[in-house]
Amino acid sequence: MTIVTDNREVPRITAAPVPAGSSGSASGGQRGPRGRMSGKERRAQLVDVGRQLFAEKGLEGTSVEEIAAKAGVSKPVVYEHFGGKEGLYAVVVDREMQGLLDGVTSALTGGHPRELLEQAAFALLDYIENHADGFRILARDSGVGTSTGTFTSLISDIASQVEHILGSEFKARGFDPKLAPMYSQMLVGMVALTGQWWLDARRPKKADVVAHLVNLSWNGLSGLEPRPQLMGRRNR
């Protein structure tokens, strides 16, 4: 269509029609009609919301109503995706545990055993620094001192990653390699408990914390006695 002005024909520019249900933006993501989130997007949003609330209040202190309200949805949407807050919590915990385990595993790149201890300690403190909410979730509902729960399971999983390192060192030094699992639990527990304290303290700086952790653990291992004896009279 043209417009006639001063005996000249000027083309009229018209915008292309926007398809129904489109936001008009190329970066709107995979959304349904009227800009609604896809099932995948909604699930990811609920995981993020749950992660924030569980870190702040824990599982017992968080309700489905709060999750739904913060996500801007109705309660049935939460139940539809996760069956309830327990299902959402399980997904959040599983992702955090896998992320931390992957970080520790990838950090152990080899080298001198003392350097491996440094790498493991840095991996845990890196996770605490960059994923504070995730660590609070893992530590909140089952602390380091408990015999069961998420955090205890996590410590055992990480300890299994360093167990073979201690086993080979014990064997090379004439110690009983069967004791390696117990010592690996001791070392990882020490680092994990220190990390839980450092989560709130954040002093001294991370590298200094790692240096002191390795100082205590490595020098303790260096002076390890093959058959330690108790000083007191109690023997059981």
The pLDDT tens digits of the residues spanning 185-227 come to 998 889 888 998 999 898 999 999 999 999 998 888 888 888 8
- The pLDDT score that the predictor gives to residue 27 is 33
pLDDT band at 33 (very low <50, low <70, confident <90, very high): very low
Integer Cα distance of 59 and 92 in angstroms: 11
Average pLDDT, the chain: 81
4 pLDDT band, cuts 50/70/90, is: very low
Closest CA to 117 of 222, 219, 218, 221: 218
Q: Within a 10 A sphere around the Cβ of 132, how many other Cβ atoms?
A: 14
**Phi, psi of 10, rounded to the nearest 5 degrees:** -115, 125
- Angle, CA of 94, 88 and 84, to the nearest 5°: 145
Higher local confidence (pLDDT), 161 or 47: 47
- CATH class as words, domain 93-222: mainly alpha
Domain ranges of the chain: 37-87, 93-222
Which residue would you say has higher pLDDT here, 31 or 117? 117
Nearest-angstrom CA–CA distance, 53 and 63: 9
pLDDT at position 8 is 45
pLDDT interval class at 167 (50, 70, 90): confident
Confidence at residue 23, expressed as pLDDT on a 0 to 100 scale = 37
Can you say whether residue 2 is alpha, beta or left, with left for phi > 0 and alpha for psi between -120 and 50 degrees? beta
Residue 13, pLDDT above cutoff 50: no
Q: What is the pLDDT confidence band of residue 12, given thresholds at 50, 70 and 90?
A: very low
Spell out the SS3 assignment of the chain. CEEEECCEEEECCCCCCCCCCCCCCCCCCCECHHHCECHHHHHHHHHHHHHHHHHHHCCCCCCHHHHHHHHCCCHHHHHHHHCCHHHHHHHHHHHHHHHHHHHHHHHCCCCCHHHHHHHHHHHHHHHHHHCHHHHHHHHHCCCCCCCCCHHHHHHHHHHHHHHHHHHHHHHHCCCCHHHHHHHHHHHHHHHHHHHHHHHHHCCCCHHHHHHHHHHHHHHHHHCCCCCCCCCCCCCC
Give the global pTM: 0.71
* CB hemisphere CA count around 6 (13 angstroms): 1
For residue 171, how many other CB atoms are within 10 A of its CB?
12
CA geometry: angle 113, 115, 119, nearest 5 deg: 115
pLDDT score for 6: 47
Q: Which pLDDT value is given to residue 141?
A: 61
What is the topology classification, in CATH, of domain 37-87? Arc Repressor Mutant, subunit A (1.10.10)
Mean pLDDT on 78-93: 95
52 — pLDDT class (breaks 50, 70, 90) = very high
Q: Which of 106, 116, 101, 117 is nearest to 154 (CA)?
A: 101
Mean pLDDT of 174-183: 90
Q: What CA–CA distance (Å, rounded) separates 219 from 47?
A: 43
